[in-house]
Amino acid sequence: MSAHDDATTPTSPPLLSQCLVAELCATFALVFIGTGAMVVNDITAGEVTHVGIALTFGLTVLAMIYAFGDVSGCHINPAVTLGFWAAGRFDGRRVLGYIFMQCMGALAASGAIRVLFPLNETLGGTLPRGSDFQSFVLECILTLLLMLVILSVSFGAKEKGLLAGVAIGAVITFESLFGGPVSGASMNPARSLGPALVAGDLHHLWLYLIAPTLGALLAVPLYWVIHRNGTKE
């Protein structure tokens, strides 16, 4: 099959370049809209509200799954990409490319937020309200539950379809509702990396890189135990 046929045949799989751009755009949207809602909430004395912020993150993920799920799988999260790889659903040769583009999307989004709101100090970054240990454990558990749901409703390494979008968006919303005031409810290393690097506050970044990744990886054996006799391809 020629390159032209591969690009134009409706049944052909998306090119790697298309997948990478989709991950870049989807992660940009998540970080720009989600952290943007947090910044606007700060400068308007709470007009968006905590509930509004949680809904913003959840609905953005829902929309991105509908938009890009059939292309890249709409991981928009390095921890999710690693989770799919650990579950044997994702080609290891694509892992670094996906993670790189997710991080670039997050950094671009935080850069745009900095341009729009130059006086804001945190840019919607994730910071622990209590101890680092408390936030580490919370982020690990939140991401474990998120990854468990993703593995259960996705097909192969793709989050797509009505069920996946609603289920994953709902999990992100309700986890943000109660976890946000404590740890920031990141559940996503890229989402925390962008604001931290652009704002120049790296004190707690390690927590938000390691805990979600650990949680996503721990979800894989738990999924296998629960769905021992079933697979999704």
Q: Which two tokens stand for residue 103?
A: 């991080």
Share the mean pLDDT of the chain. 91
Beta carbons of 77 and 102 less than 8 angstroms apart: yes
Residue 6 domain flag: no
Q: Which two tokens stand for residue 123?
A: 């840019």
| Of 70-74, 134-138, 155-159, the least confident | 155-159
- Predicted TM-score of the model (pTM): 0.90
Residue 229 has pLDDT above 80, yes or no: no
C-alpha 57/C-alpha 232 separation (Å) is 27
Residue 3 domain flag: no
What is the span of the domain harbouring residue 33?
A: 14-226
Q: Which residues pair with 158 in a beta bridge?
A: 155
Residue 1 domain flag: no
The domain that holds 205 is classified in CATH as 1.20.1080.10
For residue range 87-132, what is the model confidence (pLDDT) as tens digits? 999 999 999 999 999 999 999 999 999 999 999 999 999 999 999 9
C-alpha 220/C-alpha 69 separation (Å) is 20
C-alpha 98/C-alpha 72 separation (Å) is 9
C-alpha 224/C-alpha 230 separation (Å) is 9
Burial of 215 (0-12, 13-18, 19+ CB in 10 A): buried
Residue 2 domain flag: no
Residue 9 domain flag: no
User: Above pLDDT 90, what percent of the chain?
Assistant: 85
The total of structural domains in the chain comes to 1
Residue 80 domain flag: yes
Residue 60 domain flag: yes
Residue 30 has pLDDT above 50, yes or no: yes
C-alpha 153/C-alpha 232 separation (Å) is 9
